[in-house]
Amino acid sequence: MNTDKKPILSPSLLSADFSNLAGELNALEEAGLTWVHWDVMDGSFVPNITFGTPVIAGCRKKSGLFFDVHLMIEDPDRYLENFVRAGADLLCVHAEACRHLERTLSEISRLGAKPAVALNPHTPLEILEYVLPQLDLVLIMSVNPGFGGQKFIPFSLEKIRRLKSMITARDCKTLIQVDGGVPPDNTRELTECGADVLVSGSAFFAHPPYQKRLETFITAAKD
């Protein structure tokens, strides 16, 4: 039970002002955020297209935030080096998009970024069985990927609980990230289930000022 630990909030830029990304990143940093979530979409793995390495590289020069990069792209092996060079601190690949997941994760580590795996709502946790010890983070998708502003899928709570027991049983240091439909009012339940990092897009960026919004998320997790 994650009762005393404060969750990390990683705002998803998908809901930020795309005409002013450097300004948004600066505002996040000033508001006290430490992580930011980049939703990279290729229009094939998910039915939407967002941004790629040139945008991330451009923003890297202007931001000290931890770049948590969520690759919703087919066959991510093709771009691992580019994203690390662009400044990704953590690279999260979808298990459903990797033919040789262990090799992909080892390559991310070799390149110097933190390896992470994302699971779509339907994907069972068992797929992590043999790679869990090499993971810095597992991303539990609590919506079907591709869009912001969707509703949280309730069975994600049980999935987070089961993942937490898998991590504890194996004595791993793997963080649990929850992504999709996370407003402040369910942060307490999520942290109690074992979530360490919460991704929020629409429920965060739609409610400036960001410092106040961050406090709302953090206090709600402890109430």
Which amino acids are annotated catalytic? 39, 179
Q: Which residues bind ligand DX5 (CB under 6 A)?
A: 12, 14-15, 37, 39, 70, 72, 143, 145-146, 148-150, 179-182, 199-203
Can residue 179 be called a binding residue for Zn ion (CB under 5 A)? yes
Residues whose CB is less than 8 angstroms from the CB of residue 110 and which lie 6 or more positions away in sequence, other chains included: none
Block residue for tokens 């109430």: 223
Residue closer to Zn ion, measured from CB, 94 or 213 = 94
Pick from 32, 59, 144, 141: which is nearest to 92 by CA? 141
Least distance to Zn ion, CB of residue 118, Å: 7
Size of the site for Zn ion (CB under 5 A): 3
Helix and strand totals (H; E) in the chain:
8, 8
Q: Which two tokens stand for residue 116?
A: 């992470």
Decide if residue 164 touches Zn ion (CB under 5 A).
no
Binding partner of 181, given Zn ion, ligand DX5, none, CB within 5-8 angstroms per partner class: ligand DX5
Strand-pair category, 35-41 with 66-72: parallel
Which CB sits closer to Zn ion, 94 or 164? 94
Distance of closest approach, residue 4 Cβ to Zn ion, in angstroms = 27
Helix (H) or strand (E) holding 146: none
- Give me 213's structure tokens: 């919004």
Stretch that binds Zn ion, among 21-29, 66-74, 78-86, 154-162 (CB under 5 A): 66-74
- 200 contacts which partner out of ligand DX5, Zn ion, none, CB within 5 to 8 A by kind? ligand DX5
Cβ 31 vs Cβ 211: under 8 Å: yes
Query: Does position 70 bind Zn ion by CB under 5 A?
Result: yes
CB-wise, 179 or 196, nearer to ligand DX5?
179
213, 200 contact by CB (below 8 A): no
Name 197's bridge partners: 8, 177
Residue 131 binds which one of Zn ion, ligand DX5, none, with CB within 5 to 8 A depending on kind?
none
